[in-house]
Amino acid sequence: MKDQKIGTKYQVLEFLGEGSSSQVYKAVDLAGGQIVALKLFLADSININLVSQEFRLLAELRHPNLAAVYAYENFQAGCFYIMEFVPGPDILCRCRDLSFEKKCHKLIELCHALEYIHYWNIVHLDLKPSNLLLDEKDAVKLLDFGLAQSAACAPLKISGTPSYISPEVISGQSSDGRADLYSLGVLMYQIFAGVLPFEAPSLKDLVKKHLYQPPQPPLIYNASLPERLQSLILKLLNKDPNARPAGAGEVAVELARIIKQSPGESPDAPRLPFVFNSRLVGRNKEMAELRHAVQNAISGQGSTIFISGETGIGRTKLLTEFSLEAQLLECQVLWTRCYQPDTSAYDLIGQLLAQILPLAQNFCPQIISEFGPKLAEIVPAYRALPEVKNLPVPASLPAHEQRLRLLDAVAGFIIKTMEAVPPRATVIMLESIQWIDRESLEAVSHLMRNIARSSILVIGSFRNDDLAPGHHLPETIEALVAENLAEQFFLKRLSQSEVSELIRNIFPRIQNPEPLLTKIFAETEGNPLLIEEAVHYLMDSKFIERRHGQWQITSLTNDRLALPDGLTKAFKLKLKNLSPEQLLLMQSLAVMERPATAHQIFAITALDACQISKDLLYFKSQSLLTVLQEEKGDLFYGLHHSKIAREVYRSASPGLLSRLHRATAQILENQENHSLQELSALSRHWEAAGDPGKAREFHLLAGDGLAEFSKRQAIEHYRKAIELSPSQQDLPVLEKLQKLYYVSGEFQKALEAAQVLHLAKGPSPDSYYKMGRCQERLGNYESSTEYLRQGLTVSRNDPQSAARLMRAIAVTCISRGEYRTAEKNCQEALKLLPQNSKPSVEAEIYNTLGQAYWHLAEWSQALSVHRKSLAINEREGSLYGIADSHNNLGLVYYRMYDWDRAAESCQKSFAIREKIGDISGLAKSYNNLALISRHLYDWDKALEYHSKCLQTMERIGSSLETATSLVNIGLIHKAKGEWDRALWSYNRAIQLAATIGAKNIMLDAYIRKAEFYLALGGLKDCSLFCQKSLGMAEELGGRLEMGRALNISGRISQMRQQWDKAKEIFSQAREIFAELDIRAGEAFILKNLADLHRELGELDKAEAMADKALSLAQRVEEQQLVADVLLLKGELLEERGRSGLTYMEWSLEIATKVNTAETAWPIFSAIARHHVKHKRYDLALEQYQKILSGFKQALANISQPDLKSSYIFAPRRRQLFKDIKLFRQEAASYAG
């Protein structure tokens, strides 16, 4: 199987061995390069449930003398799990070359491992040399728990290796840890005597010797053995378990005493560092929610869960437990973590991408080709990948669009890669995100918005009491939860009963613990980390001891018991007991800020390497330190908690901190190919080391690297570089800073920087241009124009700069509504441009001129200049510019009612935007194409485009545009008669708009909802939303919206036969639309007034109004309105005693083309009345049947009973039913 790939990311290197049901291979983890052991269980020889139970058992064990277990996966019809690779040799081979004392040391290590597993009621049952290997650091590792079981279970058959098996296991009796002690005795006999205690030609004879024959004294084979050691070995080999030592700890103590009688160093038996490997307590509800979420992910419904709580509440314990369950469900689990506040941009995303890249290389390299060029913006090393290096660099985009493209690439790469790999689902753990950088948060938020239809579960955990004031995380979570894209759990402290359960799990079978439990709960108030510190204190102070294999409480009174009353105090007590060398080691970790290897610690501190290893193990046992990750075989150590890091950092003198920062910086600087995170770290370390020159150098490098995609952090680096500059003004850096302020939208700071540059460098066209543009963006149009005109006075010999300034003046004029002045400035700018000017400048001027013509409604001129801009962009190959020009042309054609050309231009823009990854541009194209389709009355196509726009806006988290799209989709559903869907869209739009405070969108939705109820005949609800619309329009000063709301209000008054009030309201609305030159709106009002005059019998006025309405409606190509007015004219003719059938048929022809739900039936009704009038009852019946069929379909799309009633009993439909009743009577009388 050499070189075969197994599972998601493992490649076999060599075969190591096999057992009855498994094979073990040395393998490499392709994601991180670690060498691991892969234990493969074949399908026909195993019970997967038993293997998963074995994995779960091992994964929950944490001890330096146990081989760590990392991951579990199903493979083909079998399964495998990944373990720490321990190269060996085995303990027997190693001990052959060791002194007596060192042999005892190795056995003491083994005893610690056995004491640990026996503490958790686990019996190994297969203790033998091949399961006891030594790692590279010469530490004993206990492996292979395939036969392990709970001591409470009786074995069903003889298990284990015959030479090491205990008598009680052979005889089928229930076994406990003393069975392993018998095997330990066999091993010790073999190590010290050189032979096994029992050997026989057959298994049967061997078993008899284990059961009945006492062993020979080992002194027979090794006369130099201490008598005390022989006694210990023979005691271990006693046939009666009760006659053996009570536990492995007792054996370790005896071995330590023995070697103290001989030359050599006695090892200290460390306190158990594993008291919190107990069962999870008090988190049943949260675990149930997580299980439900991962099952949803497996079924293709991705989701996000945020888990928060105070410091020490047990977030990591919960996630670790859930991680094991997820792996047993065949899920890939990816872990990332923030290590410190103010992490560098995309730090968390970099960790995630580093784990996913090898998976993509193995399973879907084409996805690297798709997204790699874009991801190279934040991970430059991607440009060297074979799948990327020959691909072109992505097209240039404006900063906002480039950021969106990057976010989309990150999400797309993660989602598509994880869809291609074998696991059923992926769980992404984001730990300690209270320190997440803004850029990573933006990227993971974008991912969270895009996983709803994927098999990905994202879990973010954070300490809410460690969030800085004004932190961006709570706001992001609130938005995601409000949009139903995430859930949030708050972990509570443990109750008194849960604390009791936890302590009893830690100290099983402890006697009379109630007073102690009450004291622990009172002092810790149920905080798990404080409980842990309290337990450590009790053990260190000997208030709780393990005697004869049992936990016991010593003499304990409240006046003697002083538990730490806070985490900071607990940590200070621990630090106080450290030696100076140990404290220096901790201080180096606090300075480095991130996990470090023992080798890196040695390089910084120059402490003894062996002592560093021992101290790291000790710190881990004291819960001061944790192993955060393992990469390529190296263990990385980090401080257990941020509070520890702060206390340790404060404990160092300024001189020591400076020295440690310098040493850290030198190590980092000597590395090649610095990442952006390392550049940022170098700037901080050199600054703290007191080297302003070096600090400034790396601040500038970090700023330059971050400027493209993290302007916020780049600004901070440039600002600090200026502060560290030897001169008072660092103008080149200030110029970079000014530009970043401007493109980041910090226009006041950009203006201030521009003014400083202006004073320092003297007046120039460029300085006046920058100050003028800043003032324009700040809304200070007078100051903007003044600055720009001053720039013109100093640009007489620089025509290109003059043209640029003239164009900027035109932009300011457009902002002020001075469109004709803007036109003149643009034309003057074009005259000033020299032949050799930058094409982009000329294209920008034409675009600005096109905007001026747009506002002036001079469409042919607008077309002309936008075509010129397009030609320049095409000549220069600017794809973004080409797409923008096509879009501008499409909008002009749209206003010219040239739908075909508008659609053609928008399609061209769309194709280019899709190619270059202009995400928000794509959404705008979808929206434009939808508007065109609406005007062509292609409702299905319009719905398709609006839905795609909605999906894109949801994907990029643009809530404002999402709400707008929902309103548009509601309008389409209403036009199609899909009433329930329309109402759902409007309600969702209102809810989202209210959440984000978008009152303008809420106002539009209120108006649409009022129109919705008006169409259904629900006057009460219509009136409610009309009043809301009028109030909000008044509040916002929206004249157009006020006109729309007044139109609805007039219709309500008309339907209630409040004629004078209706006339007054319609007149107010008409004035607004005329003032705004909204001809379609004015046409609607004229039609309503005509209808009102008809109801009053004022037929001449009605006809005059109808003629005006028809003229305006035809001019603006509002076909639905044209159909309504033609129907009205036909009805007016009928009332005058003339035939209006021709107008009605024209109306029906247009209404059929428009194809809206409520347009046709009034026409059918009018035609039916005409036929009844002329005794053509068969033709009338045909029209009435069409109407009733349409009503039946409409009612099928209304689920609410009250809306059904409103629809049926609306005044016009009620009148229709009366007409049908009279028709039936008249037709029956005529037939009779």
Cβ neighbours of residue 791 closer than 8 Å, sequence gap 6 or more: 764, 765, 767, 768, 769, 772, 801, 805
| Number of neighbours of residue 206 by Cβ within 10 angstroms | 18
If you compute the radius of gyration of the chain from its CA atoms, what whole number of angstroms results?
Answer: 40
3-state secondary structure of 744: coil
CA distances from 657 to 513, 579, 601, 604 (A): 46, 18, 14, 11
| Buried/exposed 353-368: b ≥16 CB within 10 Å, e otherwise | bbbbbbbbbbbbeebb
Closest to 294 (Cα-Cα) out of 246, 321, 326, 256: 326
Structural contact between residues 1140 and 1170, judged by C-beta atoms closer than 8 angstroms: yes
Separation of alpha carbons 1088 and 1095, rounded Å:
11
Structural contact between residues 783 and 775, judged by C-beta atoms closer than 8 angstroms: yes
126 is catalytic: yes
Separation of alpha carbons 114 and 474, rounded Å:
46
Separation of alpha carbons 1051 and 1089, rounded Å:
10
Residue carrying structure tokens 């009945």 = 212
Separation of alpha carbons 948 and 633, rounded Å:
48
Separation of alpha carbons 1082 and 1078, rounded Å:
6
Structural contact between residues 294 and 331, judged by C-beta atoms closer than 8 angstroms: yes
User: Degrees (nearest 5) of the Cα angle 947, 953, 955?
Assistant: 100
Separation of alpha carbons 1165 and 640, rounded Å:
80
Structure tokens at 239: 């046939």
Separation of alpha carbons 119 and 275, rounded Å:
10
Q: Where are the alpha helices (DSSP H) in 60-99?
A: 91-95
Amino acid symbol at 704: D
Kindly write down the DSSP assignment for every residue of 353-410, as one continuous string: HHHHHHHHHHH-HHHHHHHHHHHTTT-GGGGGSTTTTTSPPPPP--HHHHHHHHHHHH
Known binder of ligand: residue 941? no
**Burial (Cβ within 10 Å: 0-12, 13-18, ≥19) of residue 268:** exposed
Q: State phi, psi for 732 to the nearest 5 degrees.
A: -60, -40
**Burial (Cβ within 10 Å: 0-12, 13-18, ≥19) of residue 779:** exposed
Closest to 464 (Cα-Cα) out of 491, 442, 441: 491
Structural contact between residues 27 and 19, judged by C-beta atoms closer than 8 angstroms: no
Could you tell me the sign of the dihedral formed by the alpha carbons of 707, 712, 713, 717, in that order? positive
Residue carrying structure tokens 């000033």 = 832
User: Degrees (nearest 5) of the Cα angle 646, 278, 268?
Assistant: 65
The whole-angstrom distance between residue 722's C-alpha and the CA centroid of its chain comes to 35
Structural contact between residues 720 and 732, judged by C-beta atoms closer than 8 angstroms: no
3-state secondary structure of 29: strand
Separation of alpha carbons 880 and 295, rounded Å:
43
The active-site residue, picked from 126, 144, 766, 918, is: 126
Separation of alpha carbons 1 and 64, rounded Å:
31
Structural contact between residues 7 and 31, judged by C-beta atoms closer than 8 angstroms: no
Amino acid symbol at 892: V
Cβ neighbours of residue 646 closer than 8 Å, sequence gap 6 or more: 590
Amino acid symbol at 820: R
- Per the annotation, binding residues are 39
- Per the annotation, binding residues for ATP are 39
Q: Which residues carry out catalysis?
A: 126
